Every structure is written in C-alpha cells, then in structure tokens.
C-alpha cells in the first residue's frame, strides 16, 4: 500500500502520461513541413506522367520506365542552340560534379537532355553532344508527337522560330529544368537563371522531404 | 590551327584602321563548341569612356563566315533569341555580352576552335571606326 506522500506524487504523474503519449503521437504523425527552397518550385502534389516512347543517344528505347528508380533532372533544348542550351548543360555538369563531391548525395541523379528539335537532333548527334558536358548525361530524341506527349504533361513549350531558314532555324523553348522523383513523377521545376549551388541544395532538401513523407 | 589563326589575324590587322581610344573591350571569349554543335557564341564587355554613345553595328572575324548580334531573353519561362541590328554602348557606360543575354552568334567553322585558341574579332561601329580584339576560346559554364 502506498503511503500518502508517495500517492500525492504518483497520481499527477499518471495523469501526465497520456498527455505525453498524445503529444508524442501527434509529433510523430504530423507531416514534415515542405522544405524552404532557394530556386526550385516544388509541386504541392507530385504529378504522375503518362508513358512516352523516345530513343536515347545509343538508339535504345527511352520511356517512362527510364525515369523510375532514381532522381532525374531534365532539360529541354536543341544542339544548334548556341547560348542558353550549352550554358544550362554546362551548369548541369557543374551540378553533377558538386553532387559527386557531397558525401550525403547517395546515388547521383540522371541528367537527361530531351531534344525539342528532333528533325536535326539524331541519336548520333546527341551521342557526341551530350557527354561533352558530363560523361553520365543522357540525350533523348524521337518522333515529334512522342516528345509532345511528354512535354505537354510538364508545361514545357517550344516551337520553331518563323522566318528563320530551313536548316538554320532557331527554336524557342522553355528554359526550366524539371525534376522527376524516383517514381517517375514530375516533382519540381527550376526556373532560369540557374545557379548550380542552389540546384544542389534544393535537390538534397527535396530528396530528404520525399524520404520523410513517403 | 593556331598557325592558321595567327596568319588570319595578321591578314586581318593589315586592313584595320586605328580604333577609338575611348573604347575598351574586356574579357572577350568564345565558347568552345560542344561536338556536333553547329552554332557558337562569343561574349565580351565593351566600355565606352567617351562623351558620345557608341553604336556597335557589326562584328567580323576571319575565323568565321559571319557573325550575328543576338540576345537571348526569357519571357514567361520561354527562352528565345532575338536578332539585334545594333548594340548601343552609352557614353561613360558599358555593355556586357554574357551567357543568357546579349551575345555574338556564328556558325561553327569546319576547323573548330578549341579551348586555349585565340580568335580575332573586329568590332565595327556606326561611325565607321573599327576595333580588333583577341577572344580566348574557353570551355566554361
């Protein structure tokens, strides 16, 4: 039997325990806040992407399945573009090298250059162009309607510039970099101007958030 | 390649008149073309310490068939290139041609310049003055 002074101590403790447990449960169950990002726009809900059928620089099929199993950074451009595309691709090369130096990175994302100029950008041309920026980079091209099938799901737009020549035409195109999560879903986009250090930091934060909210 | 460029430079110099003293060009460089790329871009900064605006109307080079004045701009997230007829360098001011902005665009020549090469660029102004500069070929973001 408890002595009166011990009871006085024990009873309030009994009352506190459920409250403490409740607080712990609430903390454990509430979703983490979305990360603060420096450049990326994170979609409130990841957007599933319908399948598409394209070709990589080695002539192999490149479909939605190729966006699954790892993170993907995608840029949409064309090899005849002298300014914005090489600038963005060189910047992505820097991102990849910075990520490789960071021990917390884990597996490197795949970086994919999707051509919005399939008339001129053959797999052979992409095979020489894309690895120049980083040997892990993938170049993808294919039928115009299959490229459109993917791009219109992402809000990526492009078009030949009227008035330019038949073979030396320019192409206007969205400059954003798209981030796909390892389930092949559209997760975030990085608008121009791109800074490699911001992209690295935001990518790491988005990955952590993804792991914490699965 | 370097020898050809040197010869071209010397040839170019022989027909160049004297340039204006109040114009200085800094950090002129050409982006090394990635394999397969058919267009190149070059960048530079033009300083005008004179009392009058300067108007850049043309750039020539013995290393390239032709050079266009261009500007990349991003409108509503879409990058587009705009042809410029001229670039005005304000009096006591400067204009920077840089990646993602104003630049020189030219078709890649058959003998593609690679990082470490230098190519001459001749800036031609509306008042008829010409200024020759040497641009480094660089591989950089």
A75-121 residue pLDDT tens? 999 999 999 999 999 999 999 999 999 888 889 999 999 999 999 99
CATH code of the domain covering residue B112 = 2.60.40.1890
In chain B, residues with a C-beta closer than 8 Å to the C-beta of A157 are 78
> How many residue pairs bridge chain A and chain B with CB atoms within 8 Å of each other?
83
Mean residue pLDDT of chain B comes to 88
- Alpha carbon of A209: minimum distance to chain B alpha carbons (Å): 26
Q: Which candidate from B34, B36, B103 shows the least CB-CB separation from A83?
A: B103
> Considering its fold, how many domains does chain A have in total?
1
What pLDDT does residue B39 have?
Answer: 92
Chain A residue with CA closest to B40: the answer is A82
List the single range of A161-175, B20-34, B56-70, B108-122 with lowest mean pLDDT: A161-175
Answer yes or no: is pLDDT of A182 > 80. Answer: yes
Does residue A12 fall inside a structural domain? no
> Which range marks the domain in which residue A194 is found?
40-213
Answer yes or no: is pLDDT of A26 > 90. Answer: no
Name which of A141, A89, A134, A138 is nearest A120 in CA terms. Answer: A141
Q: Which candidate from A132, A175, A191 shows the least CB-CB separation from B34?
A: A132
Name which of B1, B3, B42 is nearest B138 in CA terms. Answer: B42
Higher pLDDT, B99 or B16: B99
> Side-chain half-sphere of B95: how many Cα atoms within 13 Å?
17
- Alpha carbon of A43: minimum distance to chain B alpha carbons (Å): 17
Higher pLDDT, A5 or A88: A88
- Alpha carbon of A211: minimum distance to chain B alpha carbons (Å): 29
DSSP assigned state of B2: H
Does residue A11 fall inside a structural domain? no
What pLDDT does residue A124 have?
Answer: 97
Answer yes or no: is pLDDT of A25 > 60. Answer: no
pLDDT tens digits, A188-204: 999 988 999 999 999 99
Answer yes or no: is pLDDT of A165 > 80. Answer: no
Does residue A86 fall inside a structural domain? yes
**Is the separation of the CB atoms in A105 and A204 below 8 Å?**
yes
Name which of A131, A125, A98, A48 is nearest A201 in CA terms. Answer: A98
Kindly indicate the confidence band of residue B136, based on its pLDDT and cuts at 50, 70 and 90. Answer: very high
Contacts of A6 (CB under 8 A, 6+ apart): none
> Which range marks the domain in which residue B67 is found?
2-138
What pLDDT does residue B21 have?
Answer: 72
Answer yes or no: is pLDDT of A208 > 60. Answer: yes
3-class secondary-structure state, position A164: coil
Q: Which candidate from B78, B140, B141 shows the least CB-CB separation from A172?
A: B78
Average pLDDT over residues B74-89: 95
Q: Which residues of B27-54 are buried (b: 16+ CB within 10 A; e: fewer)?
A: ebbbbbbbebbebbbbbbebbbeeeeeb
Q: How many CB atoms lie within 10 A of CB A202?
A: 22
**Is the separation of the CB atoms in A108 and A99 below 8 Å?**
yes
Q: Residues of chain A whose C-beta is under 8 A from some C-beta in B?
A: 79-84, 86-87, 89-91, 93-94, 125-126, 128-129, 132-133, 157-158, 161, 168, 170, 172-176, 191-193, 196
End-to-end CA distance of chain A, in Å?
49
> Considering its fold, how many domains does chain B have in total?
1
CATH code of the domain covering residue A79 = 3.40.30.10
Kindly indicate the confidence band of residue A23, based on its pLDDT and cuts at 50, 70 and 90. Answer: low
Answer yes or no: is pLDDT of B98 > 70. Answer: yes
Answer yes or no: is pLDDT of B7 > 80. Answer: no
Query: Residue B68 and residue B58: Cα distance in Å, rounded?
Result: 8
In chain A, residues with a C-beta closer than 8 Å to the C-beta of B64 are none
**Is the separation of the CB atoms in A143 and A114 below 8 Å?**
no
Answer yes or no: is pLDDT of B18 > 50. Answer: no
pLDDT tens digits, A133-153: 999 999 999 999 999 999 999
Answer yes or no: is pLDDT of B13 > 80. Answer: no
The percent of residues in chain B predicted with pLDDT above 70, rounded, is 85
Q: Which candidate from A81, A133, A174 shows the least CB-CB separation from B78?
A: A174
Q: How many CB atoms lie within 10 A of CB B17?
A: 9
DSSP assigned state of A108: P
In chain B, residues with a C-beta closer than 8 Å to the C-beta of A83 are 41, 70, 72, 81, 99-100, 103, 105
Does residue A195 fall inside a structural domain? yes
Does residue A71 fall inside a structural domain? yes
Kindly indicate the confidence band of residue A214, based on its pLDDT and cuts at 50, 70 and 90. Answer: confident
Does residue A26 fall inside a structural domain? no
Angle (deg, nearest 10), helices A196-213 and A84-101: 60
- Alpha carbon of A129: minimum distance to chain B alpha carbons (Å): 5
- Surface-to-core class of residue A26, CB atoms within 10 Å of its CB (0-12 exposed, 13-18 middle, 19+ buried): exposed
pLDDT tens digits, A29-83: 567 889 999 999 999 999 999 999 999 999 999 999 999 999 999 999 999 999 9
Query: Residue A124 and residue B9: Cα distance in Å, rounded?
Result: 35
Does residue A30 fall inside a structural domain? no
Kindly indicate the confidence band of residue B134, based on its pLDDT and cuts at 50, 70 and 90. Answer: very high
Q: Which candidate from B78, B100, B141 shows the least CB-CB separation from A83?
A: B100
Does residue A21 fall inside a structural domain? no
Contacts of A202 (CB under 8 A, 6+ apart): A35, A37, A38, A39, A40, A188, A190
Kindly indicate the confidence band of residue A24, based on its pLDDT and cuts at 50, 70 and 90. Answer: low
Q: Which candidate from A86, A173, A191 shows the least CB-CB separation from B37?
A: A86
Q: How many CB atoms lie within 10 A of CB A185?
A: 17
Query: Residue B22 and residue B40: Cα distance in Å, rounded?
Result: 29
What pLDDT does residue A32 have?
Answer: 84
Chain A residue with CA closest to B139: the answer is A90
């Amino acid at each position: 039997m408890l002595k009166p002074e011990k009871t006085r101590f024990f009873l309030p403790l009994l009352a506190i325990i459920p409250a403490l447990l409740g607080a712990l449960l609430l903390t454990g169950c509430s979703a983490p806040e979305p990360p603060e990002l420096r450049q990326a726009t994170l979609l409130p809900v990841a957007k599933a992407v319908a399948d598409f059928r394209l070709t990589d620089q080695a002539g192999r099929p490149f479909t939605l399945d190729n966006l699954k199993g790892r993170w993907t950074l995608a840029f949409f451009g064309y090899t005849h573009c002298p300014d914005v595309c090489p600038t963005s691709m060189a910047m992505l090369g820097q991102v990849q090298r910075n990520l490789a130096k960071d021990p917390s990175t884990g597996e490197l994302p795949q970086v994919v250059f999707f051509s919005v100029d399939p008339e001129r950008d053959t797999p052979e041309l992409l095979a020489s162009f894309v690895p120049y920026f980083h040997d892990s980079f993938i170049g993808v091209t294919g039928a115009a309607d299959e490229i459109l099938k993917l791009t219109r799901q992402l809000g990526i737009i492009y078009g030949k510039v009227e008035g330019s020549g038949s073979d030396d035409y320019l192409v206007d195109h969205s400059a954003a970099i798209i981030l796909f999560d390892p389930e092949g879903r559209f997760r975030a986009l990085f608008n121009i101007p791109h800074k490699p250090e911001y992209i690295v930091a935001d990518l790491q934060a988005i990955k952590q958030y993804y792991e914490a909210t699965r | 390649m370097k020898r050809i460029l040197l010869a071209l430079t010397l040839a170019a110099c022989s027909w160049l008149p004297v340039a204006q003293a109040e114009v200085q060009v800094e950090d002129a460089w050409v982006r090394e073309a990635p394999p397969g790329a058919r267009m190149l871009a070059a960048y530079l900064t033009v300083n005008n310490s004179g009392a009058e605006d300067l108007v850049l109307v043309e750039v020539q080079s013995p290393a390239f068939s032709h050079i266009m004045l261009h500007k990349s701009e991003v409108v509503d997230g879409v990058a587009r290139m705009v042809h410029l007829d001229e670039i005005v360098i304000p009096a006591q001011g400067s204009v920077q041609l840089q990646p993602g902005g104003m630049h020189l665009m030219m078709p890649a020549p058959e003998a593609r310049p690679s990082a470490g090469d230098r190519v001459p660029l001749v800036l031609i102004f509306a008042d008829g003055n010409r200024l020759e500069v040497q641009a480094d070929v660089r591989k950089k973001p």
